[in-house]
Structure 1
């Protein structure tokens, strides 16, 4: 199969359109109503789409929309419940900053009708199976950061990796987050040192949307995507509010504040500042094991970004970001005035500073809107100084990414292509030690130069074929080829089939990516000959849109299989006191099946239900067995109801988690042994939101059923002993907690 795929890719023209904002003809604007006092009021949730197509979007909370030009239609339709529909010819939109005014269709005293904003939007046109999680969906739960943004998503799992540091483990298609390509606005990000805590570096209110795609992605974005891609879009300077404030607190003692402010100097130049502060300095121990239930965290996070469009052909976006975080876990009563030794309390202290700079520059050719060139760059410097009990882990990483791409078409728009070159510099230095004894190091410096081409064929509105191929040369591992293939076929009205196949590679960072295992007394044994991880991923999905009893339904079913040619095995089975890292010798695969149904049984009540089954196995300790900490199945039910004008909103989510294998603790003494298979359990979350004109107040609870893993820390009474382990986590470790938040939004004056 692999040889056939590579042969096909070599024979086909290797070009396609880039998945970046630069180069596509994009229409941006705002939908408003003008009141009798001449005040302009934005209309959130208005439908904006091209006539006689399914290509469209909905306006955000501030009434803004962003929509690609259509090859099928030249008439834009703007609709909003209770307002007159407006049709606008495309020629009337070109070269203008759009402000579209809608008029009420019927004037009613004391009665106002509004349409609800879409939460999750499936991309109907892309050959890659993907969905967009909008700001409306993010507001359904206590979305303090990216790690908490997937509570209502059936595809992505996020859970605690250990019971001491607050590290989160993310999974997609049954495999951990290191096999997902994490991106911020198409810039690969959160690698190496940021792979464990990177998701808490993105505050929820900062995100405009999240795009989640399954399987191998486009070669334009690199070679690392194996199980999927998660791309975060931050709030944009040209659309950000004059002032946005968000305050949040919960019953675990955590409080945080977020600020977004934007300044528009002119139609050509805008800037915005995004600031975040978090503080939790309370030692809370509700299960009475003398360990903190939640780490004490102090975090400061800041972005300044700019948007500059000097003329209709040039677009520039750039900015800087800074993060300073201290994370403290472990036993209560640590005395900072005393030496950190066995006579003091067990403490984990992780001190992080991270700097980023990014830029996107695009140029659209004057006589051809479908031909463009763009440069995407990102630089980060990450430093971590930490200790876990008596072990120190200090590391530094500098990462540079640059991608130069050109996109156009051959003959006509049925044959689109992108070609480009990329460069990555990844300098990684780390050291694990105890006193003067060096316990491990994985220093490396990689320079990766790549070239790629991608071709997209659109013979009709119903068929899209996208093929891509890239070659990269790694200064450490040599050269390699990455092929990708995506196919979309709308075989009937409302019925879409997608196929995908391709390979991916990545370099492992054994200590950094598994630093949560340092919250134990396991020794780290790292083989000296670790190779790059290599895998193939194959996917099949079917999406069906239909109407039943007058209601619209969206049903989807998919199957994905990942096969590893090489994998760095993280073996915690061989010895209860060790973590062994070595190259795969045998098989490793993941099969993932999922069925999802979305519908609206009554007006303004959105229902999402899903069930997923995972079969993930690998040769571990010379035996093909289930990979630990992977649920055999998972179910999701999400209910979201809003009253007219979205004044009140009620959200309820239940996650049903199936059983999973847990590494054996038979080598421990009897009192420190644990079960080898987790039970099935459910976690329920709820939230109520009340909206005023420029205020929102939300209150809710997580883990309503108060289900927790009992005694999650092994040998908590003797953390310096050989049996201590806080990393064997299979279920919730925090009891029921309540939260309260307030949002304030002051829009710009038009």
Structure 2
């Protein structure tokens, strides 16, 4: 009996030991390595949500989760500069897993490969120059017929309408007027001077691969005109474009926009043909002033780009674009037969534009590239009874020599040449002979040279220094230096400091639409001297990985000081615009913050805010300094784009908008209209339904809050000022004025569209 009890006890002990051993055998581990393009990804966040556990990869990209029970686990990996990764792993009893995780480069609107800051392809986090990147996917959140309107959801960038009748405008960066913003296509100065007023609306989104924005000095690489900032439109690459795309949408106000692109092959070479058509013929008058609220337009743009296959992957491409636009705004009973007469007021503009751009890498051992562009801009316009006929030709050529001197030194040398021919029917292109003036078109030659060196001082600190010399055939020698520093506090904390100067000549009749309307006389007090500016920009970038997603912060402080700034005085005399060099100085300063939130659940938020103060200081007649705020420069503004995906239904919801604070406005003496605009917000919502991989439909509402400005035109009942001196009907002596504007006169409207992509 005793032996039997001992035997049973022994068996119990043995069973317990076996059960403990079996229990220990049930625990497993998941180990792995995270890499990208053969390099370990250091500091990647690896998450097992069900266990509420996370780890950062080590210096070799390794991670390990120990003591795991059998079951199914979802592994998530997040890392700066890379797309999020998810994988489901099932562990059986006693099982172990070793994972090899390859991350793809992160593609977002705020972090991409950029070329604008340095003329070289680098990741945005590696660039010494702060560059913002926006892709067509970002602009699809609020579809518009042109680049000009698309930029309204970019923080710190303000598309400003300058005329309530013909709806022409320009693009302000950090409060500075459109002429201080240089707009390039593939890095070449295609859009400038005359076309800054009328060419922007003709750039269709269908030709855009991405848009890069530099806020602050960019003069060393792109010329003295890039004083306030630079917008570089990178066109699509035919070799990577879909075989065909169609994007068509219409609004409830009868706007119609169609984008079509077709890719074709000719042997090893590829071509991309893009056609954009926009039509709006609906005479709207919501504010009952008997004038069109929105200019009527009929526009077509044709774009064709060729990429040529060459040995050693050397570059060779050429692209051409043609645009024709017929637009008019005015009294509701206006017809073309009244064009240029004083019977019925209208502003009618015919625009024809041709562009050719190309790049060719020389077949030599060193990396030498030749870039060129040609454009022709013809405008036939009438503002009431005042005709404005103008033509402009711009030729541009540039050699770039890119040399890597060592592992730490990069050298870039450029030899640019630019020729500008401009002619119109105004005194701006007349000879100085007052008695017998003759036509004297402006012909400007701008040869130059620039040198830029990028130097990695150590693994954390990088410098970029550049110097540019241009010779302006009218104004002589121009020097534009700049220097920038980039310091990595860590992989996720970056500081950039940039400084430089700019130099700008002015063509009033192409840059200031108010000088063309005929409602005011243009007075030039003295011979205008070129403007000079001194710029500084401090930028801080931070990336945060959390268990719930990714956060990107981009903060910038900017400061620009102007001398010889050319000011248009709208206030001294309501019948005149008086231009002169500023007897003092002007300042643009402020702070801008961009944020990017990408969550592990299907929500993404991009939001930004800009605080700025733009003003001039000039001595008055008694020698006292007087401060004047810049017109159309709100002290506070912000943008947002919220995207939520319902993956099970294939639905995407986009909510976008812009909030604009008070800004100074041009008013007349004793004007009943406020001299400062109110707060306002334009908001939009869109729902997109993906039918399959190739087809989707979308629709929504623009100007969801139905915001409309309370005031716009002054004396719309007498646009030719025929009764301006009638003291009974016009006791304050008001004159017809189209320049008072701070928001589009276009209320709430629905829209619907389709997109089809053939890969």
Matched, 1:617 2:615: yes
Cα distance in 2 between the residues matched to 1:426 and 1:298: 28
The alpha carbon displacement at 1:284 in A equals: 1.7
- Kept in 1, the 8 Å contact 2:655–2:683? The answer is yes
Q: Which digits, 9 at most, give the CA deviation of each residue in 1:82-107, with x for residues without a partner?
A: 9999xxxxxxxxxxxxxxxx999899
Matched, 1:376 2:371: yes
Identify the residue that residue 642 of structure 1 maps to in structure 2: 645
Cα distance change, pair 703–53 in 1 and its aligned pair in 2 (3 A)? same
Question: Could you state the TM-score of these two structures normalised by the residue count of structure 1?
Answer: 0.81
Structure 1: give runs of 5+ residues left out of the alignment.
1-46, 57-71, 75-81, 86-101, 108-113
SS of 1:120 mapped into structure 2: coil
Matched, 1:202 2:192: no
Give the aligned CA root-mean-square deviation in angstroms: 3.2
The alpha carbon displacement at 1:55 in A equals: 14
- Kept in 2, the 8 Å contact 1:616–1:630? The answer is yes
Q: Which digits, 9 at most, give the CA deviation of each residue in 1:575-603, with x for residues without a partner?
A: 12211221121111100211232223551
Identify the residue that residue 426 of structure 2 maps to in structure 1: 432
Cα distance in 1 between the residues matched to 2:339 and 2:548: 70
Q: Which digits, 9 at most, give the CA deviation of each residue in 1:252-286, with x for residues without a partner?
A: 222121111011234x3111211111211222222
- Kept in 2, the 8 Å contact 1:659–1:679? The answer is yes
Moved more, 619-628 or 454-463: 619-628
Cα distance change, pair 634–335 in 1 and its aligned pair in 2 (3 A)? closer
- Kept in 2, the 8 Å contact 1:522–1:579? The answer is yes
Matched, 1:219 2:228: no
- Kept in 1, the 8 Å contact 2:219–2:502? The answer is no
Identify the residue that residue 421 of structure 1 maps to in structure 2: 415
Cα distance in 2 between the residues matched to 1:50 and 1:188: 39
Moved more, 239-248 or 373-382: 239-248
The alpha carbon displacement at 1:243 in A equals: 1.4
SS of 1:508 mapped into structure 2: coil
Identify the residue that residue 706 of structure 2 maps to in structure 1: 706
Cα distance change, pair 150–419 in 1 and its aligned pair in 2 (3 A)? same
Matched, 1:403 2:398: yes
Identify the residue that residue 288 of structure 1 maps to in structure 2: 288
Cα distance in 2 between the residues matched to 1:116 and 1:166: 39
Matched, 1:743 2:755: yes
Identify the residue that residue 388 of structure 1 maps to in structure 2: 383
The alpha carbon displacement at 1:636 in A equals: 2.7
Identify the residue that residue 297 of structure 2 maps to in structure 1: 297
Q: Which digits, 9 at most, give the CA deviation of each residue in 1:626-677, with x for residues without a partner?
A: 1111101112332111232892111112322111122342255xxxx31111
Cα distance in 2 between the residues matched to 1:270 and 1:746: 16
SS of 2:336 mapped into structure 1: coil
The alpha carbon displacement at 1:423 in A equals: 0.5
Cα distance in 1 between the residues matched to 2:640 and 2:378: 40
The alpha carbon displacement at 1:707 in A equals: 1.4
Q: Larger relative CO (CA 8 A, sep 6+): 1 or 2?
A: 1
Cα distance change, pair 701–241 in 1 and its aligned pair in 2 (3 A)? same
- Kept in 2, the 8 Å contact 1:557–1:593? The answer is yes
Structure 2: give runs of 5+ residues left out of the alignment.
1-34, 45-58, 62-73, 78-84, 91-103, 113-123, 428-433, 621-625, 725-734
Cα distance in 2 between the residues matched to 1:170 and 1:572: 20
Cα distance in 2 between the residues matched to 1:707 and 1:175: 25
The alpha carbon displacement at 1:314 in A equals: 2.8
The alpha carbon displacement at 1:392 in A equals: 0.7
- Kept in 2, the 8 Å contact 1:647–1:691? The answer is yes
Cα distance change, pair 372–677 in 1 and its aligned pair in 2 (3 A)? same
Cα distance in 2 between the residues matched to 1:196 and 1:493: 42
Cα distance change, pair 632–50 in 1 and its aligned pair in 2 (3 A)? farther
Q: Which digits, 9 at most, give the CA deviation of each residue in 1:515-551, with x for residues without a partner?
A: 2553461112234512222211111011111235643
Among candidates 626, 631, 640, match of residue 628 of structure 1? 631
Cα distance in 1 between the residues matched to 2:483 and 2:180: 18
Write out aligned runs for 1:129-148 (5 A): 129-148=130-149
Identify the residue that residue 312 of structure 2 maps to in structure 1: 312
Identify the residue that residue 732 of structure 1 maps to in structure 2: 744
Write out aligned runs for 1:315-330 (5 A): 315-330=315-330
Cα distance in 1 between the residues matched to 2:754 and 2:75: 30
Cα distance change, pair 314–565 in 1 and its aligned pair in 2 (3 A)? same
Among candidates 510, 516, 520, match of residue 522 of structure 1? 520
Cα distance change, pair 115–375 in 1 and its aligned pair in 2 (3 A)? closer
Matched, 1:567 2:565: yes
Q: Which digits, 9 at most, give the CA deviation of each residue in 1:459-494, with x for residues without a partner?
A: 334222000001111110001211011110011341
Cα distance in 1 between the residues matched to 2:453 and 2:717: 60
Identify the residue that residue 119 of structure 1 maps to in structure 2: 109
- Kept in 2, the 8 Å contact 1:540–1:558? The answer is yes
Identify the residue that residue 242 of structure 1 maps to in structure 2: 243
Cα distance in 1 between the residues matched to 2:638 and 2:520: 34
Matched, 1:167 2:161: no
Cα distance in 1 between the residues matched to 2:414 and 2:649: 45
- Kept in 2, the 8 Å contact 1:574–1:621? The answer is no
Q: Which digits, 9 at most, give the CA deviation of each residue in 1:156-204, with x for residues without a partner?
A: 1123222111213311121122112211011112111101122211111
- Kept in 2, the 8 Å contact 1:140–1:651? The answer is yes
SS of 1:238 mapped into structure 2: helix
The alpha carbon displacement at 1:712 in A equals: 0.9
- Kept in 2, the 8 Å contact 1:594–1:612? The answer is yes
Q: Which digits, 9 at most, give the CA deviation of each residue in 1:411-443, with x for residues without a partner?
A: x1211101121111001111239xxx9999994
Cα distance in 2 between the residues matched to 1:461 and 1:352: 52
Cα distance in 2 between the residues matched to 1:216 and 1:55: 34
Cα distance in 1 between the residues matched to 2:247 and 2:166: 25
Cα distance change, pair 602–440 in 1 and its aligned pair in 2 (3 A)? farther
The alpha carbon displacement at 1:398 in A equals: 0.6
- Kept in 2, the 8 Å contact 1:629–1:661? The answer is yes
SS of 2:369 mapped into structure 1: strand
Among candidates 51, 67, 75, match of residue 39 of structure 2? 51
How many residue pairs get aligned? The number is: 646
Matched, 1:659 2:647: no
- Kept in 2, the 8 Å contact 1:146–1:202? The answer is yes
- Kept in 2, the 8 Å contact 1:254–1:278? The answer is yes
Cα distance change, pair 586–572 in 1 and its aligned pair in 2 (3 A)? same
Cα distance change, pair 52–715 in 1 and its aligned pair in 2 (3 A)? farther
SS of 1:600 mapped into structure 2: strand
Larger Rg: 2
Cα distance change, pair 73–576 in 1 and its aligned pair in 2 (3 A)? farther
Cα distance in 2 between the residues matched to 1:226 and 1:441: 31
